[in-house]
A = this chain, B = another copy of it.
Amino acid sequence: MTTSSDETRTGVPRPRPGSVGIKEVARYAGVSPGTVSNVLNRPERVAAATRARVEEAIRELGFVRNGSASTLRAGQGRTVGLMVLDLANPFFTDVARGVEDVVSERGYAVLLSSSGGSGEREQRNLLVLAEQRVRGVLITPAADDGEHIGRLRERGVAVVLLDHPTPQANQCSVAVDDVAGGELAVGHLLGQGARSIAYVTGPPSLRQCTDRRRGALRALRAAGIDPAALRDVPVSAMNARAGQEAAARLLDGPLPDAIFCANDLLALGVLRVLLQAGVKVPSDVVLIGYDDIEFSAAAAVPLSSVRQPTYQLGRIATELLLDECDDPAGHAHQQVMFQPELVVRESTR
């Protein structure tokens, strides 16, 4: 043993960190590079004593495996892509939390991307993910065509649709029944005596919006009410500001009995403007949102909403994805569909 910090007990000079590769580790431990690789990837194949020596060398030299080289040679890496619609929406960040937790547990890494609802940006970012050779992609599609998503799968990238059901049996999907959710919401509004309902909704290209609308109509039909009782109030984004604009437009004409917002961010924006205008919720208008984000319960008037198992959505989707990645042969595609749950609070009482 020497006390010099630059020399090992075998007299091999220690390379500067960053340039230390499997070879240096091998030399330091007195084995071949192949053995070091075995220690990293199939520890059971190497004798306990040598393994210990190699691990010691790894620690001593501060070796960290070069993921690029590994991915290149092995043909597959340990990263997955996550493409969401909107990072500012707690719904998606809750999903992302679930994703990140699972991914981190299994030693993977997650490449984050946001399409912002734009098909073009989605496509551009998917290209970046493809270049990075992600093993799989979790995606809430912005444009419905499934064009470039299909291409991804052809390239051998596992894809799980996130918050997006699919009838096709050749892929996994995890979603919540938005039609049922819309029906729950509007059914509840009707039960509270509402007869005219405004539906504040994002662009029709978003499946979530149209599905919730279909559910709303179904509830009306079930109650024997003219579907015309549902009036669309389209907005261009799904955030609180858009909700404020929607409310301003609503205040221009005669108020409906009830307002159903396609998500809670919209509802919070609507609520704010209504209260400022002196409209009482729920006595003048009843209001319900969707997603049941954490903040809805704490709103000026606690918001009724439709709850989705958001965090679980992210977890399950990621588990499906990684299962497919880790064992593509023995993997059976699943289409998971959760049922939403009505949460009644002051805004509809």
> Which one of A64-72, A138-146, A201-209, A220-228 contacts B?
A64-72
Contacts of A155 in B (CB 8 A): 17-18, 64
Indicate if A113 sits at the interface (CB-CB under 8 A).
yes
What CA separation (Å) do A240 and B293 show in the bound complex?
12
With A125-B104, A131-B64 known as contacts, the answer to whether A109 contacts B111 (CB < 8 A) is: yes
Q: B67–A131 contact, CB under 8 A?
A: yes
> Which one of A2-10, A167-175, A181-189, A298-306 contacts B?
A298-306
What CA separation (Å) do A40 and B65 show in the bound complex?
27
Q: Closest approach, in angstroms, between the C-beta of A46 and any C-beta of chain B?
A: 21
Q: B125–A112 contact, CB under 8 A?
A: no
Interface residues on A, range: 35 or more
What CA separation (Å) do A151 and B61 show in the bound complex?
12
Contacts of A107 in B (CB 8 A): 128
Q: A112–B100 contact, CB under 8 A?
A: yes
What CA separation (Å) do A155 and B272 show in the bound complex?
50
Q: What string of 1s and 0s marks CB contacts (under 8 Å) between A69-111 and chain B?
A: 1011000010100100001101001101100100010011111
Q: B72–A69 contact, CB under 8 A?
A: yes
Q: Closest approach, in angstroms, between the C-beta of A69 and any C-beta of chain B?
A: 5
With beta carbons under 8 angstroms apart, the residue of B72, B112, B272, B302 that contacts A111 is B112
Q: Closest approach, in angstroms, between the C-beta of A43 and any C-beta of chain B?
A: 17
Most B CB contacts (10 A, CB to CB) among A68, A121, A299 go to A68
Q: B132–A104 contact, CB under 8 A?
A: no
Chain B residue at minimum C-beta to C-beta distance from A271: B298
Indicate if A154 sits at the interface (CB-CB under 8 A).
yes
With A87-B100, A114-B100 known as contacts, the answer to whether A130 contacts B64 (CB < 8 A) is: yes
Indicate if A156 sits at the interface (CB-CB under 8 A).
yes
Contacts of A18 in B (CB 8 A): 154-156
Indicate if A133 sits at the interface (CB-CB under 8 A).
yes
With A66-B72, A128-B107, A154-B17 known as contacts, the answer to whether A96 contacts B100 (CB < 8 A) is: no
Contacts of A271 in B (CB 8 A): 298
Q: Closest approach, in angstroms, between the C-beta of A214 and any C-beta of chain B?
A: 29
With beta carbons under 8 angstroms apart, the residue of B65, B96, B127, B151 that contacts A131 is B65
Contacts of A343 in B (CB 8 A): none
Contacts of A114 in B (CB 8 A): 97, 100, 104
Indicate if A194 sits at the interface (CB-CB under 8 A).
no
Contacts of A77 in B (CB 8 A): 68
Contacts of A131 in B (CB 8 A): 64-67
What CA separation (Å) do A301 and B128 show in the bound complex?
44
Indicate if A62 sits at the interface (CB-CB under 8 A).
yes
Contacts of A96 in B (CB 8 A): 87, 112
User: Which A positions have Cβ atoms within 8 angstroms of B?
Assistant: 17-18, 62, 64-69, 71-72, 77, 79, 82, 87-88, 90, 93-94, 96-97, 100, 104, 107-114, 121, 124-125, 127-133, 151, 154-156, 240, 268, 271-272, 294-295, 297-302
Q: List 14 A-B contacts (CB under 8 A).
A: A17-B154, A18-B156, A66-B72, A67-B68, A68-B68, A79-B132, A87-B93, A100-B112, A109-B128, A110-B111, A268-B295, A272-B297, A298-B300, A299-B300
